[in-house]
């Protein structure tokens, strides 16, 4: 019996995210779970009125180029974790990355979200996205520490 049927790793393609994805792939193999890599691009429509709205205005050609680039990175990331059957998804969303990750997890009945800490500043706290996911997810969340590979 599988503990987790569907594991989600939200990635920004960083080295610490690669470590988290490798840990998730190991869990997926051990538990015969589906593994999904998700990359979220925060997009602020021009009519949102925010200060960054005009900066993030994409045309169709740019969206297509962006989609090809992200899909290529996801495929490369998938090969790096050594789990070829991993599904890849990406979203361009007007929501925050945290909100989109949580929405995706709920819609796809994810049992476990694997996150990597980011805001490793002076106090070494979790980043805002990881913290938001940890505090608001309807499923289990595994936070993979940067030095966890040494254990």
Residue 1 resides in a domain = no
| CA–CA distance, 119 with 130 (Å, rounded to integer) | 9
pLDDT per residue over 10-49, tens digit each?
888 888 889 999 999 999 988 889 999 888 877 655 454 5
Q: Report how far residue 79's alpha carbon sits from residue 98's, in angstroms, rounded to the nearest whole number.
A: 25
Tell me, what CATH number does 30's domain have?
Answer: 3.40.50.620
| Domain enclosing residue 11, as ranges | 6-150
**What is the structure's pLDDT at 138?**
95
Paired strand residues for 8: 36, 113
Q: Can you tell me whether residue 41 is helix, strand or coil?
A: strand
* pLDDT value at 57 more than 60: no
In this prediction, residue 122 carries a pLDDT of 35
In a domain, 72, yes or no: yes
Q: Is residue 126 part of a domain?
A: yes
- Verdict on whether the full-model pTM lies above 0.85: no
Total number of domains constituting the chain: 1
Per-residue pLDDT tens over the stretch 96-148: 888 999 999 999 999 999 998 764 443 344 578 888 898 999 999 998 877 65
Q: What is the pLDDT of residues 66-105, one digit of tens each?
A: 778 888 888 888 888 887 777 777 676 667 888 999 999 9
- Give the alpha-carbon dihedral of 139, 36, 120, 42, to 10 degrees: -100
The answer, yes or no, to whether residue 62 has pLDDT greater than 50, is yes
């Amino acid at each position: 019996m599988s503990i987790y049927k569907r594991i989600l790793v939200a990635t920004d393609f960083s080295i610490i995210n690669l470590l988290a994805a490798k840990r998730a792939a190991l869990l997926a193999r051990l538990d015969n779970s589906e593994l999904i890599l998700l990359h979220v691009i925060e997009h602020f429509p021009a009519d949102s009125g925010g200060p960054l709205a005009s900066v993030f205005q994409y045309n169709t050609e740019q969206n297509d180029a962006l989609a090809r680039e992200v899909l290529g990175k996801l495929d490369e990331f998938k090969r790096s974790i050594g789990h070829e059957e991993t599904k890849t998804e990406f979203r361009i969303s007007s929501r925050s990355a945290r909100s989109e990750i949580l929405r995706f997890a709920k819609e796809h009945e994810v049992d476990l979200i694997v996150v990597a800490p980011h805001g490793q500043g002076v106090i070494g706290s979790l980043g805002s996205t990881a913290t938001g996911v940890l505090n608001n997810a309807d499923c289990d969340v595994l936070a993979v520490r940067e030095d966890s590979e040494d254990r």
